A and B are shown apart, each in its own frame.
With several copies, the nearest count.
Chain A
Amino acid sequence: MSNPPSHALPVESGPMDLIVTDLAVARGGIPVLEGVGFTLTAGRALILRGPNGIGKTTLLRTIAGLQPPLSGKISAPAEAIAYAAHADGLKATLTVTENLRFWAAIYGTGDITPALSAMNLLGLANRPAQALSAGQKRRLGLARLLVTGRPLWLLDEPTVSLDTDSVALFGQAVAGHLARGGAALIATHIELGLPSTEVLDLSPHRARADAPAPGGFDEAFA
């Protein structure tokens, strides 16, 4: 397992491009996106755009390896991905520090204070997570990313319910990550004002529902 040097916010080195080619993903058995392809190289960020329900979350989950793709291929370096979902995975009864420590231990990284300060949580360090406001929870969820020490971030609407200052804070964090040779794939509806980003609009990739062949029972039943 990756055990990076313990200087602040460590990031692995090595070739770590995420290459997605002609990917098709399904949700609940229904094809959602098809023909998605892009390459994400070190130091760059890719913004996923698209209306609600186009399939951003599904795409991210697939790349994170939580669900198998319908077709196409994803080539990502092993043990490189850190995924942040709609839900933050916080334990209500544990304090901010305990929550972070746990993830740091799981990812085998060291010290959590850099993450805390980066997300401006030092003041709340030993407040139980249930006593946080929506935005504070979210900030803690993002601090988790910093302790993973993983180079490739998959973020699903990270700025939800963050105020403008916190959004700026988050922007800096991502920028720093990119600067250290990390990469980020971000699904969001708002402007983040990051450096060196491309934007990928998913709307053209919506899976077409073509009329089924009557009486046609192939393996996919449609």
Chain B
Amino acid sequence: MIALLVRDLRLAVRAGGGFGLGLAFFLIVTTLVPFGVGPEGGILARIAPGILWLGALLACLLSLDRIFALDWEDGSLDLLATAPVPMEAVVAMKAASHWLTTGLPLTLAAPVFGILLNLPAEGFTWLTLSLALGTPALSMIGAFGAALTVGLKRGGLLLSLLVLPLYVPTLIYGAEAARRGAEELSASTPLLLLVGITFATIALLPFAAAAAIRVNLR
């Protein structure tokens, strides 16, 4: 089990990918936004929390296909399926390593990007908090989507198409919490709901994902 986690982390690092790139993408999205919507600080500040959450979400999204696709292509998914490890555990581990290489760095870096979008000072703690609580759900849901689309060549777009609707609740509560924090309102309700979602997904989705994979392997 741990062996799987270690292997995936090692692969992520080897591939020169993992940690750095997710961050870089996040950075770039946040820098592109002003080019799109214009440089006025006021507007940027208003939309900052939402944009940052969107950026994190997309950074997750882009790295999703890595979760299973590679293992499928080189056949190791077949072999894992015949190995003495429950597929549920495999899924959980995969999601975990995805979070460690994407969600976690994003959470830690978010405040810096907050500055770029002149996010009001109050917002920072809440933003970080909501990301820390929300991104695990993103990874888990993403793993589920990846499981559904594994084996379809170039699942990429289909994957994001499937996953994005599932991301909506997480995004809403997460961004809401961050925004309320930035506007100095109480952000506890959305945060609680966020935590709820996260735990629910982590508890249930591995089974669904494992089932999907078994079907796809037939």
- Chain A positions within 8 Å of B, measured between CB atoms, are 1-2, 61, 64-68, 79, 81-83, 85-94, 98, 101-103, 105-108, 144, 148
Contacts and interface: CB of A to CB of B under 8 A. Distances in A.
A89 B11 CA distance: 14
A74 B214 CA distance: 19
Contacts, number: 73
A133 B194 CA distance: 48
Contacts of A102: 3-4, 7
A131 B200 CA distance: 39
Contact of B78 (A83, A90, A106, A108): A83
10 contacts: A66-B82, A85-B78, A85-B79, A87-B75, A88-B74, A89-B71, A89-B79, A90-B76, A92-B153, A94-B14
B104 interface: no
The 6 nearest A-B residue pairs measured at CB: A87-B75, A105-B3, A89-B76, A67-B218, A93-B14, A89-B75
B104 to A, nearest CB: 22
A102 to B, nearest CB: 5
B150 to A, nearest CB: 14
Given A82-B82, A106-B85, A107-B83, 17 more contacts: A61-B78, A65-B81, A66-B82, A66-B218, A67-B217, A81-B82, A87-B78, A88-B74, A89-B76, A89-B77, A90-B76, A92-B74, A102-B4, A103-B79, A105-B3, A106-B84, A144-B79
B29 interface: no
B15 A2 contact: no
B195 interface: no
Given A87-B74, A91-B74, A64 B7 contact: no
A85 B83 CA distance: 13
Main secondary structure of the interface of B (DSSP, over half): helix
Interface string B77-95: 1111111110000000000
Contacts of B85: 106
A85 B75 contact: yes
Contacts of B83: 103, 106-107, 148
Given A85-B78, A89-B76, A98 B84 contact: no
A91 B11 CA distance: 8
Contacts of B75: 85-89
B78 to A, nearest CB: 6
Nearest to A88: B75
B66 interface: no
